[in-house]
Structure 1
């Protein structure tokens, strides 16, 4: 018997996320947690959600809803996003679903997609399942390099995937000039842009910059989520789409899971009254700013001179480049043996490379853990330099 022979070509392209095994090995209670991009549980709005759940007696919240999502929640979300409207805001089940829906709409096997190099590993996996050829676009401290993006578009990329605000994994906040260059090139080559914005609300320093949606609403599909500001277990996110893509995205949502949970939509809608989200975000930013500063201070004290890293203005990550002869993937084994976990940067490169890079999350570790963890990593990296 060989029933696996009946798998579709798409199923045969499915493979576990490269980071899944690393996350599993690093998710141990005695390991210093620099590894996962998880929000801090201590700031989840557990009590307000519990109180609202106790008070929510509306039977309609337990009924089927429409695929677009509850209109009052969509309107409330759109109020916060320039160039968005509730009418064209779709409630989805986590922003990962935005990647899947967009890939479902636009990618045929062999199609080319322009992605930052490095970029979010979940996007790499999703696009590859649909058969995309990923064209890596070089990045620097300002974001995607326009010349590299144009080269990918000239090679036939039909979709640009971008994380302008505090990119995962690098934490880079794309400059306004680079944002404008992305949309200008998208117009020049007449392609679609998927803007993934899970971290935009978590800005510690500087002023917000326009989202790509605001700069080119006619061709940008914008996705964001409550996972980083409220709680990831809610699995509620949204995308904003131009008129021409709206109906197909709604149909894609219908075929995927019919709708996102009505009850949770109502619960979050109630939670967003009275500026709750603004207060929650302010609290998160204050906490994460301090966490970032503690991690950078520990790295400054202990990392070898050849290590390069920046000071992210928001988000959850510090990106580090070691001297080129060091292999962060290979050195992870020694780090885990010393009870420290980080994410090797190679997992974020769609076409290989990045062996000398790593991503450090500053959300979960305590200040004391950061000091100890950075010291241990500094010794590991330093003795190999």
Structure 2
């Protein structure tokens, strides 16, 4: 495409005007997919504007999936605007009837979840239903969760799951172009969320005790508006932040104004104690605790508790749409949390999940495949080459998640993420599974096999 041709069709030479004009041309089919656009500099010259103005327009079009830029081809048209998609989260694979063992999705074992019938009946009979009052959290649910909250929360809100909580906190804290620091590797959906809201992701390396202080110090020099991390049961690595490491991180965060977002994704299923920086910074820490894996995915509930202003911003944003989380679902969770038998069932599930994870970890260690981490519902398995390992496992009817989904850019080493919550409890079957995983992991690690 000639820059002069495009410039003639742009009525308003601003970033918004350029983006709008090109969007119309793409929607109408006048500009088709794979069309190479003029360079930023040449179009800016034709329009008599700065290169930064055109670059801003290109950035907006790129965010909506209409154009793509690479070094060899320049900037090309992909097609009409589309809803941003969680690419990492959706890149799981569909194996059809060949799939025998699914280790890709870290979902709870239905046999270990508490029954919901009695709790739903109790909640459906509660007073105050069918009222349009926007209740951020019901009194029963707050009374159930507050005693175990690791720090005094000034604001409370029930939301539709842990990822919604993290997304809304990031969305209401950061403007497009702002920086957010996050562990690497981290949950694939967290990376999708941050990319979708248009922030710059600043990676923080981790070890067995959590985020590495030196790496966080480097990240903080970029002045991120928020630091998002998982204090325990970290996915995909399985580490938990120790009290000593938390103190080191807090010392680095103390002179900043960075919002601290703690994502407690497995909550009561974690075998590690909760160490929260909210005990030091209650006015700028928010804990997001999910109950989906411990008490049932269909409850769709997580609790946000912490800094009042951050929680209030989320409440305001939600008021444009859903407004509040169903009081029936909130009080169902409250009933479950207060039931002694349910507490015993969740404690049993925690033990079972920990055992399944530990047994596969041990089997792989015996075969020379280290996995690290001691908490969570997944294992982070090093492999020689990701694609080859995926093919090997697929050939044996085993689906796993590619490690590349959990990092920001190309990684120096390759990994697979294995979900462990639904592993077999049969020792022989587990040994056979470990053999196949080892075969996939090695794939030439010592010269090939």
TM-score bucket of the superposed structures, by smaller chain: 0.7 to 0.9
Query: CA distance change for structure 1 residues 254 and 67 in 2, over 3 Å: closer, same or farther?
Result: farther
Per the alignment, residue 396 of structure 2 pairs with 338
Give the counterpart of 1:363 among 402, 412, 421: 421
Q: Indicate if the aligned counterparts of 1:94 and 1:237 stay in contact, CA closer than 8 A.
A: yes
Are 2:151 and 1:83 aligned? Answer: yes
Q: Indicate if the aligned counterparts of 2:286 and 2:306 stay in contact, CA closer than 8 A.
A: yes
Report the Cα distance in structure 2 between the residues aligned to 1:36 and 1:269, rounded to whole angstroms. Answer: 27
367-376 vs 356-365, which deviates more?
367-376
Per the alignment, residue 279 of structure 1 pairs with 344
Per the alignment, residue 15 of structure 1 pairs with 85
Matches within 5 A, 1:69-108: 69-85=137-153, 88-108=155-175
Query: CA distance change for structure 1 residues 379 and 79 in 2, over 3 Å: closer, same or farther?
Result: same
* Superposition CA RMSD, Å: 2.5
Report the Cα distance in structure 1 between the residues aligned to 2:248 and 2:213, rounded to whole angstroms. Answer: 6
Report the Cα distance in structure 2 between the residues aligned to 1:3 and 1:181, rounded to whole angstroms. Answer: 56
Give the counterpart of 2:275 among 206, 210, 214: 210
Give the counterpart of 2:370 among 270, 285, 308: 308
Report the Cα distance in structure 1 between the residues aligned to 2:298 and 2:234, rounded to whole angstroms. Answer: 22
Per the alignment, residue 381 of structure 2 pairs with 320
TM-superposed CA distance for 1:266, in Å, is 2.1
Query: CA distance change for structure 1 residues 366 and 28 in 2, over 3 Å: closer, same or farther?
Result: farther
TM-superposed CA distance for 1:134, in Å, is 0.6
Per the alignment, residue 38 of structure 1 pairs with 107
Q: Secondary structure at the match of 1:18?
A: helix
Query: CA distance change for structure 1 residues 174 and 70 in 2, over 3 Å: closer, same or farther?
Result: same
* CA deviation string 1:266-306 (max 9, x = no partner): 222222224355323311112112212321233134x4x3x
Q: Secondary structure at the match of 2:182?
A: strand
* CA deviation string 1:90-116 (max 9, x = no partner): 111101111221122111111111111
Are 2:214 and 1:147 aligned? Answer: yes
Per the alignment, residue 69 of structure 2 pairs with none
Q: Secondary structure at the match of 1:195?
A: strand
Query: CA distance change for structure 1 residues 331 and 174 in 2, over 3 Å: closer, same or farther?
Result: same
TM-superposed CA distance for 1:215, in Å, is 3.0
TM-superposed CA distance for 1:84, in Å, is 3.3
Give the counterpart of 1:169 among 229, 236, 239: 236
Q: Which has the higher contact order (CA 8 A, sep 6+)?
A: 1
Report the Cα distance in structure 1 between the residues aligned to 2:241 and 2:96, rounded to whole angstroms. Answer: 31
Report the Cα distance in structure 2 between the residues aligned to 1:344 and 1:105, rounded to whole angstroms. Answer: 30
5+ residue gaps, structure 2 = 1-25, 32-59, 66-82
Per the alignment, residue 50 of structure 1 pairs with 117
Report the Cα distance in structure 1 between the residues aligned to 2:216 and 2:126, rounded to whole angstroms. Answer: 50
TM-score, normalised with respect to structure 1: 0.88
Query: CA distance change for structure 1 residues 319 and 347 in 2, over 3 Å: closer, same or farther?
Result: same
Per the alignment, residue 191 of structure 1 pairs with 258
Per the alignment, residue 9 of structure 2 pairs with none
Per the alignment, residue 407 of structure 2 pairs with 349
Query: CA distance change for structure 1 residues 28 and 257 in 2, over 3 Å: closer, same or farther?
Result: farther
Give the counterpart of 1:116 among 164, 183, 187: 183
TM-superposed CA distance for 1:189, in Å, is 2.1
Per the alignment, residue 27 of structure 2 pairs with 2
Q: Indicate if the aligned counterparts of 1:329 and 1:346 stay in contact, CA closer than 8 A.
A: no
Q: Secondary structure at the match of 1:114?
A: strand
Query: CA distance change for structure 1 residues 27 and 237 in 2, over 3 Å: closer, same or farther?
Result: farther
TM-superposed CA distance for 1:310, in Å, is 1.9
5+ residue gaps, structure 1 = none
Report the Cα distance in structure 2 between the residues aligned to 1:115 and 1:28, rounded to whole angstroms. Answer: 37
Give the counterpart of 2:432 among 367, 372, 375: 372
Report the Cα distance in structure 2 between the residues aligned to 1:357 and 1:132, rounded to whole angstroms. Answer: 26
Greater Rg over alpha carbons, structure: 2
TM-superposed CA distance for 1:239, in Å, is 0.4
Report the Cα distance in structure 2 between the residues aligned to 1:150 and 1:116, rounded to whole angstroms. Answer: 13
Per the alignment, residue 382 of structure 1 pairs with 442
Runs of 4+ in 1 over 6 A off after TM superposition: none
TM-superposed CA distance for 1:256, in Å, is 4.0
Q: Secondary structure at the match of 1:315?
A: coil
Per the alignment, residue 3 of structure 2 pairs with none
Report the Cα distance in structure 2 between the residues aligned to 1:3 and 1:37, rounded to whole angstroms. Answer: 42
